[in-house]
Copies of this chain bind each other. A is one copy, B any other.
Amino acid sequence: MPSPRTASPKLQEAMDDVSNAVNRTIERLLPETDLPEDLLYDAMRHGTLGGGKRLRPFLAIQSAFLFNVNSVRARRVAAAIEFVHCYSLIHDDLPAMDNALLRRGKPTVHKQYSDATAILAGDALLTLAFEILGDRETHADPNVRCSLIRSLAEAAGGRGMVGGQMLDLIGEKEEFDLGTISRLQRMKTGVLIAFACESGAILGRANDVHRRALRNFAFDLGLAFQVTDDILDVEADPQDTGKDTQKDTEAGKATFVSAMGKEAARSRAKMLVAQATRHLNVFEGRADMLKEMAEYVLARRA
């Protein structure tokens, strides 16, 4: 299959639909008020609205679609996952971490507000994600809600995303082998992407075969995504990505590109996407949007 540099009209439409729906859901979940602490909510809105590929919401909503999940429920889960993703970016961008000034073409939250506000905005977003998942509106069955909560917490916590960020920091000073880099990236990015894909199956109480297919798809996709990110970090234009590039190289971070070279990394990403889409064959054509998204992840310029 040829890799499209831009999304096909159909994929673009599906992506736009997700973006609009998730933005509306986020706006409802973070309403403006006159309360004196509303500065916190301004910062939370700044860090979550306006821009972003919304890859995780797309995956959550498309996977929920496979099991005919009610769209309000799917959007709430999509927003919760995006909150976790955005909180991690807000904390990651802090001077104590990556010290990034630009994100999605806008000043980062700590640049726009303050370091303290950015720390608190991240904390509040993470907490809100669990509040959303625990709420009856997300699913009538409390077993489903608890399953979502446990899976998100495992994906986002010390043995998942946050653990991956810790490894990332350690990697600035230590040389990692390819196995450790793969584990780092799976923890840092892969597991949350995997949860996004699986969340639709949890919401739809899918059978094990379907759930496993989505999980396998997600792991290969997550890794392909990160390899592509590493390639983009060395070759993309900040005008395209809307964030600072070459940050990893400057920080001396262990990346797939530094470990295996750009060309090998590129063919690895290609192989991973091919492998990822094969897992979706059990859905017999109903998962074409997910397949197209995987191809797009590989080809994207930003």
Contact = CB atoms under 8 A, between A and B. Distances in A.
Interface of A: 35-37, 39-41, 44, 87-88, 91, 94, 96-97, 114-117, 119-120, 122-124, 126-128, 130-131, 133-135, 141-143, 145-146, 149-150, 153-154, 156-158, 162-167, 169-170, 176, 180, 187
Contacts of A169: 114, 116-117, 120
Nearest to A156: B127
Nearest to A162: B124
Name the residue in A87, A126, A130, A143 with the highest tally of chain B Cβ atoms < 10 Å from its Cβ. A130
A96 B124 contact: no
Given A117-B169, A134-B149, 16 more contacts: A36-B180, A37-B158, A37-B164, A37-B166, A37-B170, A40-B158, A94-B96, A96-B119, A97-B116, A116-B169, A123-B123, A124-B158, A128-B153, A128-B157, A131-B154, A142-B146
A178 to B, nearest CB: 14
Contacts of A119: 91, 94, 96-97, 119
A123 B36 contact: no
Contacts of A44: 158
Contacts of A150: 131, 134-135
Contacts of A122: 123
A90 to B, nearest CB: 10
A199 to B, nearest CB: 14
Contacts of A141: 142
A40 B166 CA distance: 7
Contacts of A41: 158
B153 A91 contact: no
Nearest to A171: B36
Q: Number of copies of this chain in the oligomer?
A: 2
Contacts of A167: 36-37
- From DSSP, what is the main secondary structure of chain A's interface residues? helix
Contacts of A154: 131
A40 B149 CA distance: 22
27 contacts: A36-B170, A37-B158, A37-B187, A39-B170, A40-B158, A40-B163, A91-B120, A91-B123, A96-B119, A97-B116, A120-B162, A123-B126, A124-B158, A124-B163, A126-B126, A126-B127, A127-B158, A130-B130, A130-B149, A131-B149, A131-B157, A133-B149, A134-B149, A135-B150, A142-B143, A146-B146, A146-B149
Contacts of A39: 166, 170
Name the residue in A35, A40, A88 with the highest tally of chain B Cβ atoms < 10 Å from its Cβ. A40
A153 B170 contact: no
